[in-house]
Amino acid sequence: MVTRLVLVLGDQLSEDLSALKAADRDGDIVVMAEVMTEAEYVEHHPKKIALIFAAMRKFAARMRDDGWDVRYSELDDTENAGSIPGELLRRAEETGAEEVLVTRPGEWRLIAALEDMPLRLRMLGDDRFIASLEEFEDWAKGRKALRMEYFYREMRRKTGFLMDGDKPEGGQWNFDHDNRKPAPDEVDFGGPMQFTPDETVEAVLDLVEARFGDSFGTLRPFHFATDQGQARRALAHFIKHALPKFGDLQDAMLRDNRFLYHALISPYLNIGLLSPMEVCEAAEAAYRDGHAPINAVEGFIRQIIGWREYVRGIYFHEGPDYPRRNGLNHQRKLPWLYWGGETHMLCLSKAVEQTRDEAYAHHIQRLMITGNFALLAGVNPAEVHDWYLRVYVDAFEWVEAPNTVGMSQFADGGVIASKPYVSSGAYINRMSDYCKSCHYSVTKKTGEGACPFNLLYWDFLTRHRERFENNPRMAQMYRTWDRMDEDRRKTVLKEADAFLDRLSAGEVV
């Protein structure tokens, strides 16, 4: 029997991985490697590197206990080739293997690198997802617009989640209108489950501290789950203590509470410690048992079988150039405040501070604070994409690029979103308590102390009027602008230009 190499990547830590299911435990060799090319192709948050390396080491140990021959390379191994293809070639020479089994990676970059190797490559579909790429292509074929809502309904029918026969539970597909309550006065959830680092994790933390200590982001304290058992406990903790209120407050933001009722299980889903089916089954059981209301459970399940599956389909459907699209031709450099530079805008300051400390911010902080500001300011979406990929623990290109390039920055020309997600300060004020103690006044539209979001909102609409004024979802905004006094419009645009000039000059804004 000819020995084959079975590649398991750091975001493929699942025993039911297609490459492992196709392999022979008695004859094939599993290859896993911590390599600098994957740790440095963008300067990842130290917590992200630590999570992946620690989870990889524990998964390799489980595989060995299960009888697999695992060839594992730690980052500091003297013979480490430094790249995934390099490690495969080294192990092929070591074992005489001529073929590699691999589950399709989640980045075009790595797919291309593997296909360029002088070894036979058998690339298998990643069936940990509910929709195969072929299914998504079949769904997308012939459609003028690839809207998530219709794809989501297909996933509901396929899985049976929250279905009453062939109709949606509760008589409607989407309860999003119930999930937009503003920030509460207090939160009675203590946050996601935290785990004390064990010996394996501590060794990884020491390694990451030594090798990546200068990267943006705080490494310690580190409380992430790093194996399947811990991840399942974190899920159970969320279902029991937070899911009932998750729906109502999923869009809310508080300056002194970083998690509210969010699960923070996306990193575990994205590296393979949890499966989307087991997560959704747990949430649906909470609804069926009367523990959580339908708006919370439907909203949570939609994020997983709807949005998560949809953006993966978009990433591969649109092709390798997708992350570098720039449909609005925005060219401004990413401001220093995204790396912790001083700013008087409290919402941005708190979002970046939380990102630095936790490698996490929830979807509205990403979309309507950091993303909204970058879009209004005309920042180059490639730089925004690189930032999100670097700083968030759950960011892998298949999921991050569509969320950033498409949903957040409208740089894909409307593939994902029917309109750009821009807002003035009024939305931030409605959904958070940031504005109450900000240097700027959210109620001031112009003049000294006026909220920059108020100025930049109208400036953005004016710059892109030709593109958006006939969009039915934006026509009302342009009518409002046109009704303003001409002198006021001139003042808004003049002050917006002055603000952007200060931003580009590196001044504190």
Of 112-126, 172-186, 235-249, 427-441, the range with the lowest mean pLDDT is 172-186
Instruction: Report whether CATH 3.40.50.620 matches the domain 5-124.
Output: yes
Name the DSSP class of 401. Answer: H
Q: With bands split at pLDDT 50, 70 and 90, how would you rate the model's confidence at 282?
A: very high
CA trace torsion 116, 122, 123, 124 (10° rounding): 180
Q: Do domains 5-124 and 133-196+226-318 have the same CATH topology?
A: no
Q: What would the mean pLDDT of 296-313 be, rounded to a whole number?
A: 98
The answer to whether 332 and 504 are in contact (CB under 8 A) is: yes
Pairing of strands 5-7, 29-33: parallel
Global pTM reads 0.97
Given its phi and psi angles, is residue 410 left (phi above 0), alpha (psi -120 to 50 degrees) or beta? left
Rounded to whole angstroms, the Cα distance separating 437 from 345 reads: 10
Which tens digit of pLDDT belongs to each residue from 33-49?
999 999 999 999 999 99
CB 431 within 8 A of CB 182: yes
Is pLDDT at 1 greater than 90 in this prediction? no
| Mean model confidence pLDDT for the chain | 97
Question: Mind listing the pLDDT tens digit for each residue in 240-275?
Answer: 999 999 999 999 999 999 999 999 999 999 999 999
pLDDT of residue 346: 98
pLDDT attached to residue 320: 98
- Tell me how far apart the alpha carbons of residues 344 and 349 are, in angstroms, rounded to a whole number: 8
User: Residue ranges per domain, the chain?
Assistant: 5-124, 133-196+226-318, 336-504
CATH number of the domain located at residue range(s) 133-196+226-318 in this protein = 1.25.40.80
74-110 pLDDT, tens per residue?
999 999 999 999 999 999 999 999 999 999 999 999 9
Looking at CATH, the fold of the domain delimited by 336-504 is given as DNA Cyclobutane Dipyrimidine Photolyase, subunit A; domain 3 (1.10.579)
Task: Note the pLDDT tens digit of each residue in 335-385.
Answer: 999 999 999 999 999 999 999 999 999 999 999 999 999 999 999 999 999
